[in-house]
Structure 1
């Protein structure tokens, strides 16, 4: 297929955006013998999924069964209900049950089309595994590495998160690699990485893992199935007749073109992380920065706004898939955050935040959250504290000398602290906590009191305030050589360091409200006929939390799969949604 075929005037199904849910929906349509087109505004294909850590959260999946790990629909539902406590129009029992029933079937379906998956090589537990129904082994699924050269001419059109695509290493393997200076497992992981890179060079392969592997494989499947994939085809508006969405108007080669859809339009065009005006308009709890995000460059919100203009209900517009970042308080970015082509990739601290001899505090010197816990919760807690006191953005990460000697931070390997970080003021350094507090504008007495309390927890191994290190997820990202708690180490050896922390993200988590079939709903609960939405264009099924690695991608794929079956009148839909016997 041409790398940008001509558009036909009409299709059975149109999919706006090229993320993971789009590929799943399009594959279903083609297997049903229907004509389907994916319309991507950017030159690159893959959407937010390509920029991700490349994980699906799939309860009761077949890989768990093969490994002898006990999971079920009922157990997963108990975990969902104990973890997703937010109440809103997008968090419904019908959507929950549809996801839990359809997700493992969706995964098996795509595996049957050629998708290659595995369980994480290293531990990746559910984020709240101590909750009823939680799995310390985790319900996450990873893609097998993928050689981009298999795509032929399409390789150059794949969207990639460049810093992550440089290493053929799964996101699940990084916590072990981070301990290369501390454990034999870390040293072996570094050696294996070196061998993989040498092998790829010898065999002239370009192996990618994570989001690039998911979308590389899914694009390969889509093209094999005969899906039309159209690049540089931005959405302009919906075609509506007698209240029903019957197609879209796109721009192609500088001209507007109408494209009709006989059965429906599925929107999977991402959220609005990079739309500063839209984010500021809905932010009610504190400042937000469109430049703090690691979302894909196409995450600009115009399609979400178009659905709102049609009357779509919305929820959780002020939240996101938070992963905190760090920068200088003057707005400048540190060495390592700007890529060789000038693109900014803010540091993402969801793993290095978890390591010992560190703690995160607000400007009063008080801790905010379990630093080793679920990253979305950390962002939510920062905003809650900011709303309460106005003194949590920026927050501050405080380190002692052992952290900087042993562990990575940002883009730098274990033990490396560039002089430019200190010279620019991005990383503060002082011989005493009092002097460090003065540099950061933190209340010195509050910081001293909090460090003293925290150090006491480090000695007992029990964090009485936030439970750091009490869950399997925390411990999987700690340093097992530190006892009695692998996530906690006393802050007592100078010099001391600090970095300003901001609530960065990898995409917005609020959007339009949809039902269990991914139909877009109005405020009164009625549907907008012919219009479906999945992924970051929608309000999350999980409200304001993240239950496990890959929850957003798992939901996007699953509801894309369901949307196509529903829009095309599939006879299989009832069977897909049928709850297992243990329900």
Structure 2
């Protein structure tokens, strides 16, 4: 028998989305869980994120008069998630969809304050069972100062902190275009004034989720060890019984009576793993994932027999870079760390297209961001001319909408001087400056401008879904996502397949138990979040699919390890 430095019922490695939820579920089951985090910050990738849960058939939807059911959600899930892999098994699909609503009710009982993202449509809402009003939840803005001495330890995106949730940004982007955009900007100004007058610091998105979760966990006396990297898993007689961690400069052997849950994120910042598993070209410099996503605990689980799947996938969100992949002005945090621009909302707006080096479009620019990255890599595989791709803009794109950190009407001189943004008086001149095939680009723009006139994108369906349109400009007719490329000057920027985390990893069953290649269990080992092969496979069916799954399977793992007879 091993000599132990500490013993708990359940040991959770990592502090991301599912971790505090799992620890709270253990507490309600009469068990004691420990959360071990290698970084100084608590909250993992979820704290960095846009902060959304995709939880079909949840009770908050019903409060807003949006009916849903397991059957309808399953119809949509099966239509959208076409990949048939071990992580997307029928049993896991059922576990996710049946447990999600129960988990949401549990969190609300614990003190979570939800906001329904009304109008944030499922990403493929035209499929059977799709919900155009959306199935996504956010957390109410949270005053981070309520955490006291723990406030500096909350995992947060390092960019400018704005007290507005993700679902509010489409309106804010239309500040110069719609009365709704102006009202939303005034509402934001009111919140900022409220903060100044009250001394509060309201955080949004993932920080609001994890700030509230941390507050609840602290209230329930959940032990959380920070700056404690896990070096290895301890296996006895084929069962995972604990972990080896470094805490305070010394090695500690921590026993887990009921099981170990891995919620350690993916490997976006591990260049070697990206070269081994991911499509190429690839770079950890393109990612906006949590800096802790370095993959060593995932590798430790593989070393004891854990099976993996979908390791080539990521939650792709394209980014823009300058010559030689340099970061443009504005793409760094105040502390100097890189923050590559993430382009989703701005790509959805009119007067721009994305093309490869042959000048050809290859995707619905207003569509699901994971799919855009996949299509970029597919085109790269076919032609070798899509990484980088180019976004080509009409002058009205820069006049009407934000891009990166530049507000409406701004074209920073540094962007032009550095070559990050290319400017030209004609399409042929722009093509020449960018090295894009001129004939191909002109043909594409002529065809695209015809789509803008008819309102129908016959090639990729841009603006055909509620998801596209909820991020468009309703003042542009007949399609809010289509605006012609015809008014000089024209602009272009290089686009790369950035990400917010990898999407493949350990194969788990419906109880979040880690499986071997032959389908047998690794007893005592559970996993959730971005270190697993996701239940949504190679698709992103709705806003918050990764966070939703992380919470749900963390909750399931804790209840299963605690001996719950019925979970769903």
TM-score, normalisation: structure 2:
0.98
Equivalent residue, structure 1, for 2:397: 403
- Can you list the C-alpha shifts for 1:64-83, whole angstroms capped at 9, x where unaligned? 11112121000000000110
TM-fit CA distance, 1:207: 0.6
CA positional deviation for 1:286: 2.3
Q: In 1, distance between residues paired with 2:189 and 2:436?
A: 42
In 1, distance between residues paired with 2:334 and 2:199?
23
Q: Is the 8 A contact 2:174 2:181 kept in 1?
A: yes
Q: Per-residue deviation at 1:30?
A: 1.1
Q: Structure 2 unaligned runs (5+)?
A: none
Matches within 5 A, 1:72-471: 72-120=69-117, 123-163=119-159, 166-283=161-278, 285-471=279-465
- Equivalent residue of 2:324, what SS? coil
Q: Which residue, 7, 12, 27 being the options, matches 2:9?
A: 12
Cα distance in structure 2, aligned partners of 1:516 and 1:158: 30
1:329 shift after superposition: 3.0
Give the RMSD, CA atoms, in angstroms.
Answer: 0.9
> Alignment length, in residue pairs?
565
Q: Tell me, in whole angstroms, the C-alpha distance in 1 between the residues paired with 2:336 and 2:442.
A: 40
Q: CA deviation at 1:63?
A: 1.2
> Does the CA contact (< 8 Å) of 1:20 and 1:218 recur in 2?
no
* Per-residue CA distance 1:146-176 (angstroms, 9 max, x = gap): 0011111111111110225x11000000010
SS in 2 for 1:417: coil
Q: Which deviations, in whole Å up to 9, do the C-alpha atoms of 1:202-249 show, x marking residues without a partner? A: 000011011000000001111111210000000100000011000000
Instruction: Report the Cα distance in structure 2 between the residues aligned to 1:431 and 1:175, rounded to whole angstroms.
Output: 30
The residue that corresponds to 1:502 in the other structure is: 496
What's 1:512 paired with?
A: 506
Residues 515-534 of structure 1 aligned to structure 2 (within 5 Å): 515-534=509-528
User: Once the two structures are superposed, what CA deviation does each residue of 1:304-327 show, in whole Å capped at 9, x if it has no partner?
Assistant: 111111111111111100000000
8 A Cα contact 2:376 2:497, kept in partner: yes
- TM-score, normalised to structure 1, is 0.96
Paired residues of 2:511 and 2:560 also in contact (CA < 8 A): yes
Q: How far off is 1:8 after superposition?
A: 5.6
TM superposition outliers: structure 1 runs of 4+ over 2 Å: none
Name structure 1 gaps, 5 residues minimum.
1-6, 578-583
| Contact 1:30/1:226, CA 8 A, preserved across alignment | no
Partner Cα separation in structure 2 for residue 503 and residue 169 of structure 1: 26
